[in-house]
């Protein structure tokens, strides 16, 4: 396929009378927003542009090209983000009632798949790193123990890298799982850039995962909502296609599809150059970070090369700035960045701030971030006392998720729920990892975590309750 999808749209759209959807009819004179949003190229699945759920033309060729670039047996374009890939992947490899092993720090979409498919989860908690008070790597020994203890499990689901850029030993984990006959799904939403440059570690496709889900838009030059699913075998690819037709829209945006195709082509044609520029930008930030006295940056500056407890490795696109050693918390640091330096971070926690970088960053943008942090750092003082760790809690599940989320419930104030079984999914966003899932028993650690998040103004997503400060618990618990 020599002509890109975007070039095909640009050539065909001006010459065709659109007696089909969408209703704006590519008439950008209707409203200014249509012109701004490139509605003149917005089409539906018409002749000459292939069908996403039954590809046999330009989309099939584009996805085959992507599979070559990413080293997969088969690659699917996703226009509903990584979420649709996760839902389809889990349904593709399980049957209702199956048991699955999964890392407890998986994205909320994984938990939705558990409920939709009535699956029985066995949770594996990642290790922790107290220096930064973050989830660390998954322990291979812990996974091995879980496999031995739960021999009815058919699937292993892990997230790697984490939001903060922490890597696990995927090669060892996947080899272990395969020896025991488990199918491995890796949520690599934050790792579409892995494996293309010596500056970044290799990813899940090279490690041998059966299905890998990546969000192109998180770190790569592609529009929001674009993602990829990579599948290891033709048989699994056939089932993945079938399940994507269940969960993914039947009216895919060709602007999003063109963005995916364009991104893949850019990597193939200029990848070495662009990854080198990204590495140079991160190196420029590293030089700035080395002058920080109070703030600590995971893997950067004086922290570069530090042997971190329970951390197998890091990928450098994430910049997690710890405030634990200072007189401010993460929320206060975020406000300083916003109000004084017009910088909006990706994620804020009591422990620090996450700045996400991407291929679009430059030496200028990374030095600007570094200079902002240095200016703030000069005004900080050391923490007066050791800050009490406030990390996502470890929970105990007593009722199946699918049962608990549909059972009769009552609403109680968060602070009064200790010992009750939750009837809803409660997620602090970002990163979108459920703090509590239906069927788990509320404990004091979870209560403190949620109250702190509420006080800080974080977004708390709840699946059943709609009264602020209250959560849904099983009526009979």
- Segment 297-343, tens digit of pLDDT: 999 999 999 999 999 999 999 999 999 999 999 999 999 999 999 99
Which strands, in side-by-side order, build the sheet including 296-297?
Answer: 296-297, 318-322, 352-356, 347-349
The per-residue pLDDT for range 418-435, each reduced to its tens digit, is 999 999 999 988 788 899
Question: Are residues 36 and 169 part of one domain?
Answer: yes
The last residue of a domain, from among 377, 404, 435: 377
- The model's confidence at residue 467, banded by pLDDT at 50, 70 and 90, is confident
CATH of the domain at 455: 3.90.100.10
Given a cut of 80, whether residue 360 has pLDDT beyond it is yes
Question: Are residues 409 and 356 part of one domain?
Answer: no
- The model's confidence at residue 452, banded by pLDDT at 50, 70 and 90, is confident
Given a cut of 80, whether residue 146 has pLDDT beyond it is yes
Whether residue 430 is preceded by a cis peptide bond, meaning omega within 30 degrees of 0, is: yes
pLDDT, position 1: 63
In a domain, 385, yes or no: no
Question: Are residues 258 and 185 part of one domain?
Answer: yes
In a domain, 390, yes or no: no
The per-residue pLDDT for range 26-62, each reduced to its tens digit, is 999 999 999 999 999 999 888 889 999 999 999 999 9
Cα→Cα distances 468→45, 456, 475, Å: 43, 14, 19
Q: Is 3 exposed, middle or buried (0-12, 13-18, 19+ CB in 10 A)?
A: exposed
In a domain, 102, yes or no: yes
In a domain, 391, yes or no: no
Question: Are residues 152 and 120 part of one domain?
Answer: yes
Q: Are 357 and 281 in contact (CB under 8 A)?
A: yes
DSSP 82: H
Phi-psi region of 328 (alpha: psi -120 to 50; beta: other; left: phi over 0): beta
- C-alpha to C-alpha distance for 78 and 164, rounded to whole angstroms: 24
Total count of domains within the chain: 3
Contacts for 77 with CB less than 8 Å, ≥ 6 apart: 52, 59, 62, 63, 66, 226, 228, 257, 260, 261
Question: Are residues 151 and 23 part of one domain?
Answer: yes
Question: Are residues 339 and 230 part of one domain?
Answer: no
The per-residue pLDDT for range 282-292, each reduced to its tens digit, is 999 999 999 99
The last residue of a domain, from among 237, 267, 297: 267
β-strand 211-215 against 183-187: which pairing, if any? parallel
pLDDT, position 392: 83
- DSSP string of 306-319, one letter each residue: ---TT--EE-TTEE
In a domain, 402, yes or no: yes
Nearest Cα residue to 92 out of 173, 256, 224, 213: 213
Rg (CA), the chain: 23
Nearest Cα residue to 223 out of 41, 424, 11: 41
Question: Are residues 315 and 175 part of one domain?
Answer: no
Question: Are residues 332 and 260 part of one domain?
Answer: no
The per-residue pLDDT for range 162-210, each reduced to its tens digit, is 999 999 999 999 999 999 999 999 999 999 999 999 999 999 999 999 9
Average confidence (pLDDT) over 251-270: 97
Q: Read off the pTM.
A: 0.95
The last residue of a domain, from among 377, 408, 424: 377
Question: Are residues 331 and 285 part of one domain?
Answer: yes
Q: Are 192 and 179 in contact (CB under 8 A)?
A: no
In a domain, 234, yes or no: yes
CATH of the domain at 325: 3.90.1150.10
CATH of the domain at 15: 3.40.640.10
Question: Are residues 329 and 207 part of one domain?
Answer: no
In a domain, 219, yes or no: yes
β-strand 128-129 against 134-135: which pairing, if any? antiparallel
In a domain, 119, yes or no: yes
Question: Are residues 142 and 32 part of one domain?
Answer: yes
E strand intervals along 4-119: 74-78, 99-103
Question: Are residues 308 and 252 part of one domain?
Answer: no
Structural domain harbouring 435: 396-474
């Amino acid at each position: 396929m020599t002509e890109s999808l975007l070039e095909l749209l640009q050539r065909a759209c001006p010459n065709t009378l659109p007696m089909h959807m969408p209703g704006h009819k590519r008439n950008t004179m209707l409203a200014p927003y249509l012109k701004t949003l490139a509605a003149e190229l917005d089409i539906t699945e018409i002749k000459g542009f292939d069908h996403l759920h039954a590809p046999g033309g330009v989309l099939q060729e584009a996805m085959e090209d992507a599979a070559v670039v990413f080293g997969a047996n088969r690659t699917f374009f996703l226009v509903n983000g990584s979420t649709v890939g996760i839902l389809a992947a889990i349904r593709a490899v399980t049957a209702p009632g199956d048991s699955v092993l999964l890392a407890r720090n998986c994205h909320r979409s994984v938990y939705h798949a558990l409920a939709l498919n009535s699956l029985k989860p066995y949770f594996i908690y990642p290790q922790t790193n107290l220096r930064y008070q973050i989830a660390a790597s998954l322990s291979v020994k812990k996974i091995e123990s879980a496999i031995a203890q739960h021999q009815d499990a058919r699937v292993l689901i892990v997230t790697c890298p984490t939001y903060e850029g922490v890597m696990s030993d995927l090669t060892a984990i996947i080899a272990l799982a395969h020896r025991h006959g488990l199918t491995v799904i890796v949520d690599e939403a934050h790792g579409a850039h892995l494996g293309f440059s010596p500056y970044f570690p290799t990813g899940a496709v090279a490690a041998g995962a059966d299905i890998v889900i990546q969000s192109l838009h998180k770190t790569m030059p592609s529009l929001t909502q674009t993602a990829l699913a990579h599948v290891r075998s033709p048989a699994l690819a056939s089932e993945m296609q079938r399940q994507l037709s269940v969960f993914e829209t039947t009216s895919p945006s060709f602007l999003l599809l063109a963005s995916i195709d364009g991104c893949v082509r850019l990597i193939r044609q200029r990848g070495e150059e662009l990854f080198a520029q990204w590495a140079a930008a991160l190196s420029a930030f590293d030089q700035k970070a080395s002058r920080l006295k109070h703030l600590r940056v995971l893997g950067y500056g004086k922290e570069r090369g530090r042997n971190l407890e329970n951390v197998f490795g890091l990928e450098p696109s994430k910049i997690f700035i710890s405030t634990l050693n200072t007189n401010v918390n993460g929320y206060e640091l975020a406000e300083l960045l916003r109000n004084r330096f017009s910088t909006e971070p990706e994620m804020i926690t009591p422990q620090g701030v996450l700045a996400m970088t991407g291929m679009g960053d430059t030496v200028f943008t990374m030095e600007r971030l570094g200079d902002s942090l240095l200016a703030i750092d000069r005004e900080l003082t050391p923490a007066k006392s050791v800050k009490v760790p406030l990390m996502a809690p470890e929970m105990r599940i007593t009722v199946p998720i699918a049962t608990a989320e549909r059972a009769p419930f009552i609403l109680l104030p968060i602070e009064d729920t200790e010992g009750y079984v939750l009837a809803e999914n409660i997620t602090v966003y970002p990163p979108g990892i459920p703090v509590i899932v239906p069927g788990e028993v509320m404990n004091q650690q979870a209560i403190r975590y949620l109250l702190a998040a509420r006080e800080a103004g974080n977004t708390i997503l709840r699946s059943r309750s709609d009264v602020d400060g209250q959560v849904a618990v099983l009526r009979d618990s």
